[in-house]
Amino acid sequence: MKNLSKVCDAADWFDSELIDVLLNELEEIPRLHRKQWEFGMIFLTLKKLGMISPEKTGLSMGGGNERVLYSIARRIKKLTVTDLYETETSWDTARTNNADKFIRSNKPFEVDDAKLDVFNMDMRELKFPDNTFDFCYSSCSIEHIGHYNDFLRHLNEVFRVLKAEGVYVFTTEFNFGSETIKDQNNYIFSAEYLMKLFEEMDFTLAVNPDLNITNHESNYPLPANISKLFYSEDTASGNNIFRIIQHILLLRGKYPFTSILFIMQKRSNKIKFSSNVFNRNEIEKTNSILQTGIAKYREWIQNSKLTLSPFATLPEGVSPYFLDHSEFFEKNNRTMPDKVLFHTDYSWLGSGKRTIKIEMNINNVEPGFPLRISLRVHKYMTLKSDLITCDQEFVLRMNEPGLVEKKFELDADENFSYAILGNLEEGTCSFDRINIQVSPVNKNSIQEKNKEVDITSIERQ
């Protein structure tokens, strides 16, 4: 591997050094997924820096029970593993009430227990003495810990606990545009944002990152949730198909991003930060490739019929009102506190008009208690994802079971992502069929008679 500090690139999977790490250290079959790239590149970078050695000690931060921690631990003297382990976390790799047992009982291959120490710890406040570790690493963790002051605090804490000349190797998410995307509990950093952060930190950036990617269709960006655009009741088959689609360069709305690896070093005298750390020519060259890919995806998304996954954002991907999911709730003694019947994921639809078609087969309407369901389109701007608004709302009233079909038109704005949901406002019901389609506008289709039972349309102002 010529450059270690770099952005994720499909061509990296054809580098002999990285392939060797994936096969023999991670013990995985190579697949075009940026998370595997992060693990492999972290291990390879530490190895080439002389840190994968029997006398070295390291610190993993925000690592949960990720595979790479075991790959590293078995090759060094000791690896200290930290994360915010708790039973209620949304991260399944850190969901436990016994972190030590969790890490030791989830080994993907043999690792000596003596090589592992495990602590529940915030990576902004490392409870270790100064100059403790030879190296530290983290894999796409820093972007989840808060805001600017939290990021800076974390970097300076890592600097403190490293020995002199020690290194911090980490990956994070990099946006090739000028804007930093600030989602809830997640940042996708721009070069400008990282420049400011790195200028203030105590570390020296050991090498400038390579921001080039190969001009190949495998590097054309796709949304991370693309599988949610092709709903099938046979979810197992769908998951297997989408597992082989590349997950390298991604789209957040219309913005392309991917993983990037940095190498920081603890030096007694910090080297002055260069204004050319993020090479503008490299960014422009990469953006030219990415914009070609985005144009192809935009054309496809605007001219294709999509079948949205109706339960994508519900816990465990199930609804207590859907008959096929009832066994899950009975088996797990689970209840749903709210009245959400279905809720698709938020999807970027490019721009222009779409026909939305919702079909539901409603049954078990309680006699004497009319059913009222609200059908809504919610949206948020990619750069302001914390502000969700209602684009359209329709009210459905029913007195008896039956098949419901609602068609309407959505004028998509490329700066927004959209979700379709249904809420039970009054009454009780269940349903055993649902289909949510998004398709190019057929000018005659909206004029067809809707098949709802006593339905009222209310467009929110």
Domain boundaries, the chain: 10-222+247-302, 306-458
Over residues 150-171, mean pLDDT: 98
Which CATH architecture fits 10-222+247-302? 3-Layer(aba) Sandwich (3.40)
Residue by residue, DSSP assigns 312-372 as TTSGGG--TTBGGGHHHHHHHT---SS-EEEEPPPEE--SEEEEEEEEEEEE-PPTTS-EE
pLDDT band, very low/low/confident/very high, at 456 (cuts 50, 70, 90) = very low
Tens-digit pLDDT profile for residues 284-314: 999 999 999 999 999 999 999 999 999 999 8
| Two tokens, residue 344 | 């698709």
The model's pTM is 0.89
The CATH label, of 4.10.240, 3.30.460, 2.60.120, 1.20.5, for the domain at 306-458 is 2.60.120
Separation CA 90–CA 68 (nearest Å): 20
Q: Is 420:358 a contact under the CB 8 Å cutoff?
A: yes
User: 80-94, 118-132, 243-257, 280-294 — which is least confidently predicted?
Assistant: 80-94
Q: Which amino acid is at 312?
A: A
Q: Tell which residue, 339, 361, 360, 366, has the closest CA to residue 429.
A: 366
Average pLDDT estimate for 432-450: 71
Chain segment 348-380, per-residue pLDDT in tens: 999 999 999 999 999 878 777 889 999 999 999
Answer whether residue 325 shows pLDDT above 60. no
Query: Residue 453: pLDDT above 50?
Result: no
Residues contacting residue 436 through CB under 8 Å, at least 6 positions apart: 231, 307, 308, 310, 342, 344, 356, 357, 358, 359, 420
| Lowest-confidence region among 70-74, 186-190, 272-276, 415-419 | 272-276
Which tokens hold the place of 201?
């930190």
How far apart, in whole angstroms, are the C-alpha atoms of residue 169 and residue 136?
6
**Over 80: is that where the pLDDT of 88 sits?**
no
In the Cβ-directed half-sphere of 74, how many Cα atoms lie within 13 Å?
Answer: 15
Confidence class of residue 241 from pLDDT cuts 50, 70 and 90? low
The whole-chain average pLDDT of the chain stands at 89
Task: Give the C-alpha separation, 29 to 35, whole Å.
Answer: 13
Tell me how far apart the terminal alpha carbons of the chain are, to the nearest angstrom. Answer: 55
* 10-222+247-302 and 306-458 in the same fold: no
Mean pLDDT of the 24-42 span: 97
Task: Phi first, then psi: give them for residue 453, nearest 5 degrees.
Answer: -100, 110
**Could you tell me how many helices (H) and strands (E) the chain has, helices first?**
9, 21
**What is the reported pLDDT for 5?**
98
Q: In the block, which residue shows the tokens 């465990």?
A: 316
Give the other-Cβ count within 10 Å of 194's Cβ.
21
The strand pairing partners of 223, in sequence order, are 251
Quickly state the pLDDT bin for 320 (edges 50, 70, 90).
confident
Contact between residue 394 and residue 408 where contact means Cβ atoms under 8 Å apart: yes
Which position has the token pair 């227990």?
113
Residue 14's SS3 state is helix
Q: Sorting pLDDT into bands at 50, 70 and 90, what band is 429? A: confident
pLDDT reported for residue 439: 95
pLDDT at 450 over 50: no
DSSP bridge pairs for 33: 247
